[in-house]
Amino acid sequence: MSTHGSQKRLNTSSIRKMKGKARVVCLTAYTTPIAKLLDPHCDLLLVGDSVGMVLYGMETTVGVTLDMMAAHGRAVMRGVQHACVIVDLPFGSYQESKEQAFRSAVRLMQETGCDGVKLEGGEEMAETIEFLVARGIPVFGHVGLMPQLVNTSGGFRSLGHSDQEAEKIRRDAQAVAQAGAFAIVIEGTVEPLAREITASVSVPTIGIGASPACDGQVLVSDDMLGLFNDFKPKFVKRFAELGPLVSSAVESYAEDVRAGRFPAAEHTFQVRK
């Protein structure tokens, strides 16, 4: 699905209608320049709380704040003409109550102009999702591995290996879909289970470390572009190796500066005569 040449951006209704018709292309974006580069090729851009780890050097997403998400949401929206944009509700901004979630979501939508919000959680968040959707806030669900729960779930690991774990993820996905989410991220979940869930829910599933059978895929842009050379998750395919290119370019710059080769005459302003 593409609206190239059209002025109208995709929205959450557009994404939901792609179920069974076209694969949803999704990547994370946190800044205006990157959003401009990704926008023509993506159906959905996610301003993820992964920004904490990718841009701020945090070890988990737990330290990300609503202020940070609002700032990066505004930055991404300035670079978008085509894709639907969803902003993550960060840890602690929605779990306390459905009313807290509503206030946080309204703030993000008003301050950024985004199309909806994403929150993590299954059965325990169904009432909150229903509450938000009924009040005009599109919700992107997230089940399976939930990075915001890393401190209680035993770290970053794939899920669904045991019958009990698999059944919990099944129930979570069904609850989120029935509560009115327009789509659901399935993260870090064994392939057959993600495939089964995709076939069983009425809304698109967006996989990350899940299954090729999901209705769409999402990756952290910096991961798939190879900007990190120290760590590569199993589920990431590197579509470029930009890290070494950046390093090489900076090395050349440093050499030219130290040798007095840069700036050259063409890089300076001369007095007009």
88 is in an annotated binding site: yes
Within a domain: residue 168? Answer: yes
How do beta strands 84-88 and 24-28 pair? unpaired
118 is in an annotated binding site: yes
Phi, psi of 87 (to 5 degrees): -115, 135
Tell me which of 17-21, 156-160, 267-271 is least confident. Answer: 156-160
50 is in an annotated binding site: yes
Within a domain: residue 254? Answer: no
Within a domain: residue 1? Answer: no
Within a domain: residue 198? Answer: yes
Within a domain: residue 4? Answer: no
CATH number, position 160: 3.20.20.60
SS3 153: helix
Q: Which of the residues are catalytic?
A: 187
Residue 161: domain span: 12-242
Within a domain: residue 247? Answer: no
pLDDT at 42 over 50: yes
Higher-pLDDT residue of 265 and 229 is 265
Within a domain: residue 250? Answer: no
Total number of domains constituting the chain: 1
Within a domain: residue 185? Answer: yes
Q: Please give the radius of gyration of the chain, using alpha carbons only, rounded to the nearest integer.
A: 20
Q: What is the pLDDT of residues 246-261, one digit of tens each?
A: 999 999 999 999 999 9
SS3 258: helix
